[in-house]
Chain A
Amino acid sequence: MPFVPHTPDEVREMLATIGVNSIDDLFAEITEDMQPRSFDLPEGLSEMEVLSRLEAMAAKNVTDRVSFLGAGFYDHYIPAAVDALTMRGEFYTAYTPYQPEASQGTLQAIFEYQTAMTRLLGMECANASVYDGGTALYEALMMAVRKTRKRKAVVSEALNPIYRVMLESYTTNLHIELVTVPHKNGRTDVEGLKAAIDDETAALIVQNPNFFGSINDFTELFAAAHEKKAVTIMSAYPVMQTVLKTPGEMGADIATAEGQSLGLPLSFGGPYLGVMTCTKKMVRQMPGRIVGRTQDTEGRTGYVLTLQAREQHIRRQKATSNICSNQSLCALRALVHVCALGEMGVKRAARLSIERAHMCADRLTAIDGVSLLTEGPFGNEFAVTLPVNAYEAVARLAERGYIAGFPLSRYYTDLENGLLVACTEKTTEEQIGIFAEMLKGALR
């Protein structure tokens, strides 16, 4: 029987030590009325059989299409060192570092991850990560609510709609009002947001680049929010942050990000990585694990989980959140990813992605009837308006081996011809050329 090492002789010895006759005696407290009505699970399989079954399932997925899908989740190149290092059993099979002396590897890695994320986003403090970019944003909103004791959030409609629906779910029972300010042709409506902030506003939430790929400078908007004593929150795309003005430079109090693009495969939705950073004055409101540097009894440098008085295992219902762990291995992947690429490597990935996206936009808008939907500067993603329904266009191209992008009408009902297109450094010039030709053909 797999993974149970005890031989029949050993079982007899153990039962004798305990002083019972059989294993069933150990379960005597589960009386008849509590026993399973059925337990109809299939019989176990050999390792080889399990793997061949899963290989067959994996083969049913179509992964050989050239894809321009993004919508907040991107297919960037992952250096081989990321897998090789993070798969080491000492990292992989460890627990949350409750015993710091035996977990210095995990703890120092988290400390370095915190350092990398604060530098990437231009912020002062980071936590050890939360589940994903959406839950990070929700936790950021709750930080603002605790800090300001107000219960209204002004949210840009150009914020990733996936995050917006998550915010709605999580705030349903909490009497928090979400005020959504419409986007303007794919641009974040800075003036509209400014006008919506009042004295009751706990948080202003924007994204850069926003869902449509459009880039902003929110410095003035954040200053206006601060005048009303609101907390400023920005969700960022970390790869683009290697070249863009940072949330910190703009005056954000909290910056969050979906860390998937930093060394995590797309894997059909997870596991991903919720990056959370903030200013020093917000750090005691930040949920989750935080690692700090300290010294041991001999004066040697070491790392521990710190500021634990905020946490659920000490404060129970008064904790900053119910989060009791982090996406440690995903955070480690993000750290190894940026270290392996290095300062210049990550910038290179970002710049190439931007270049390919602009090349792609030029080729697509050269087609009759296709125009740019996103106004103003954009990074590696942009939206176009097609002369036909975008779902239809995507379906036509999918048959021919290209996934053209994400139809905006999934979330923006008035943009039925809107298509969101993303490139990364993996997108080749040749693929862009074929894509444009194919789209042209499909629109005829």
Chain B
Amino acid sequence: MKTIFEQSVPGREGCWPCEGMAEEAYIPKELLRDGNIGLPSASELDVVRHFTRLSQKNYGVDSNFYPLGSCTMKYNPKFMEVAANLPGFTRLHPVLPQLKGAGGFCQGALEVVYESERLLCELTGMHAFTMHPMAGAHGELTGVMLMAAYHRDKGNKKTKVIVPDSAHGTNPASAHAAGFDIVSIESRDGIVDPEALRKVLDDEVAGVMMTCPNTLGLFEKHLPEIVKMLREVDALLYYDGANMNAIMGKMRVGDVGFDIVHLNLHKTLGTPHGGGGPGSGAVGVSERVEPFLPVSRVEKLEDGQFFLSYDHPKSIGYVAPFYGNFAVYLKAYAYMLRLGGTGLRRASEHAVLAANYMRKRLEDHFEVPYNRICMHEFVMSAVKQAENGVRALDVAKALLDMGYHAPTIYFPLIVKECLMIEPTETENKATLDKFVDDLIAIAELAETDPEAVQAAPVNLPVSRLDETHAARAMELTDDL
């Protein structure tokens, strides 16, 4: 399909913002750019058809089942969009509350921030929350910066962060971006082994980053013991909230002893992912980490008025220009109001139910390396199919042909030919059953006609793409 640039016809007019075309006489000629920009000249209809057609080449939750492990692609209710698009919110300039007297102009927005933080505290058992971080990985970076600030304030000399081998790649990358060296530890029986942790735990360890349930979909049952060990060397326990959708109302990370937690609001609290973002990576902290939270913070006066406070001398400063991705967490706030505590707990229960149901139905057809009760996702392996030359990648592509987005593949790295499946609570049983039936059909085809599976996808706008060529040719823009 042609790009919008290739469809451009010089002189064709688009949708102008308003009439008039001022002269450029206000600015000296030597400060102006030469020639055309190279943006498309297209009619509004050209543009509407182009992007409508592009959208039709995409899989989204609205159109396809998306069992993408660790990504929690559940349904995003539509009323949240109405809420986020209320002009009373979209038209608010972010520096408005910094003006004298104008703080009164955005009381509703400040209330959203304040109330969102309060609800997240209750959901997680944390002492305080910040809405500043603009994505999950950004929340991680903020969290590790908080860890660094905590130790700096106490005069601790800490250089290392411990990360399990099953962790998301963002964990080590975030800890490194905050200035730490990374120590990796191996799991045992799929979860963090307290003995392995003890071996590398010393006074130089600033903290440990954990995901629970972890990326194998397993519950980390040694948490209380791990918390105790960390307290002995004044190291902090960090919670990667990517898998929080499994435990709402079942476990609160603050109660267990985590000091810092980030939540991927776009996963747990059902806000759309938008093809890669925007997300929101709110961060919660225990009482001892609170003084280091980013500024500004929203506080409430006795008369019920909200205001921004900047007087936090130990704060790590600004991680975002304002108060984070407001329109994103506004949706998460609406979602929490809609479901309430009971609904959120029930969401987790049904996410876990669906995952275990699928695991059980698939266990005879695919290798399931940790075949026990899992949380909201589980990992299986295509090692049996690989004997016939059908790899996890091939299974994934065959699923695309059948109208599903594929599961996460080749992650976590510690499982061979890994397929990580996360059904979420919002898919009905018929969808789950059909998906399982289709996966079984692929497993059967892998035995009878492996080449057919290797050829997939054949029903999509493109077949398998040459990634090596893309990296070598580096064609990253449309040439004029």
Contact = CB atoms under 8 A, between A and B. Distances in A.
Contacts of B136: 324
A327 B137 CA distance: 13
Contacts of A67: 93
Interface stretch (A188-196, A365-373, A392-400): A392-400
Interface stretch (B251-259, B383-391, B445-453): B251-259
B252 A37 contact: yes
Given A106-B276, A407-B99, A336 B427 contact: no
B37 A3 contact: no
B179 A174 contact: yes
Contact of A105 (B31, B58, B138, B475): B58
B454 to A, nearest CB: 11
A265 to B, nearest CB: 4
B57 interface: yes
B478 interface: yes
B90 interface: yes
Interface in B90-109: 90-96, 98-102, 104-109
Given A5-B426, A306-B471, A322-B173, A243 B3 contact: no
B48 A85 contact: yes
A371 B85 CA distance: 39
Interface string A370-397: 0000000101000000000001101100
A35 interface: yes
Nearest to A392: B100
Given A61-B108, A104-B461, A377-B31, A84 B337 contact: no
B465 interface: yes
Contacts of A41: 119, 122-123, 336, 340-341, 344
Contacts of A170: 145, 319
Interface string B431-472: 000000000000000000000000001001111111101110
Nearest to A41: B341
Contact of B464 (A92, A297, A354): A297
A339 B91 contact: no
B39 A338 contact: yes
B140 to A, nearest CB: 6
Contacts of B168: 313, 324
B403 to A, nearest CB: 9
Contact of A101 (B36, B42, B56, B462): B462
B309 interface: no
Contacts of B135: 131, 323, 325
B382 interface: no
A414 B88 CA distance: 35
A314 B347 CA distance: 32
Interface string B291-331: 00010000000000000000000001111111111111010
A111 B224 contact: no
Contact of B477 (A43, A93, A118, A215): A118
A403 B102 contact: yes
Given A306-B470, A339-B14, A62 B322 contact: no
Interface stretch (B65-73, B192-200, B230-238, B282-290): B65-73
Contacts of A50: 79, 83, 334, 337-338
Interface string B42-55: 10100110111011
Interface string A1-43: 1111110001101110111100101111111011111111111
B22 A268 contact: no
A315 B73 CA distance: 25
B117 interface: no
Interface string A173-194: 1110000000000000000000
Interface in B11-45: 12-18, 20-24, 26-28, 30-34, 36-42, 44
Contacts of B34: 245, 249
Interface in A113-135: 114-116, 118-120, 122, 124-126, 128-129, 131-135
Contacts of B406: 98-99, 102
A81 B137 contact: no
User: Chain B interface residue count: which class?
Assistant: 35 or more
A15 B273 contact: no
Contacts of B347: 3-4
B99 A55 contact: no
A37 B125 contact: yes
B20 to A, nearest CB: 6
A328 B275 contact: yes
Contacts of A45: 337-338, 340
Contacts of A266: 90-94
B398 to A, nearest CB: 11
Q: How large is the interface on A (under 10, 10 to 19, 20 to 34, 35 or more residues)?
A: 35 or more
A148 interface: no
Contacts of B102: 394-395, 398, 403
Contacts of A317: 172-173, 175-176, 182
A336 B51 contact: yes
B219 A30 contact: yes
Contacts of B156: none
Which of A28, A165, A352 gathers the greatest number of chain B CB atoms within 10 Å?
Answer: A352
B345 interface: yes
B344 A14 contact: no
Contact of A269 (B23, B39, B321, B469): B321
Interface string A132-169: 11110000000000000000000000000011011011
A295 B463 CA distance: 9
Contacts of A115: 3, 5, 477-478
A93 B76 contact: yes
B266 to A, nearest CB: 10
Contacts of A11: 353
Nearest to B456: A101
B155 interface: no
Interface stretch (A199-207, A220-228, A283-291, A431-439): A283-291
A63 interface: yes
Nearest to A14: B357
B340 A265 contact: no
Contact of B460 (A30, A101, A249, A339): A101
Interface string A65-97: 101010111011101010111111111111111
B124 to A, nearest CB: 10
B22 A95 contact: no
B27 A243 contact: yes
A123 to B, nearest CB: 9
Contacts of A118: 477
A330 B177 contact: no
A26 B60 contact: no
Nearest to B345: A39
Given A317-B176, A342-B15, A1 B408 contact: no
A104 B337 contact: no
B478 A112 contact: yes
A69 B405 contact: no
Given A4-B347, A19-B360, A90 B177 contact: no
B24 A243 contact: yes
Contacts of B470: 292-294, 304, 306
A325 B279 contact: yes
Given A17-B357, A267-B327, A341-B14, A348 B175 contact: no
B80 to A, nearest CB: 9
A345 interface: yes
Contact of A23 (B108, B177, B353): B353
Across the A-B interface, the 7 shortest Cβ-Cβ residue pairs: A342-B14, A58-B88, A269-B322, A44-B340, A89-B62, A329-B274, A41-B341
26 contacts: A2-B77, A6-B353, A10-B429, A14-B353, A17-B360, A23-B350, A30-B219, A36-B251, A37-B252, A44-B338, A73-B94, A79-B17, A89-B61, A91-B60, A101-B460, A101-B462, A112-B478, A119-B37, A175-B179, A249-B33, A266-B94, A291-B476, A306-B471, A307-B471, A336-B51, A343-B36
Given A294-B470, A352-B22, 14 more contacts: A50-B83, A85-B47, A102-B58, A168-B318, A170-B145, A266-B91, A270-B328, A294-B469, A296-B465, A325-B279, A335-B4, A341-B17, A348-B17, A355-B26
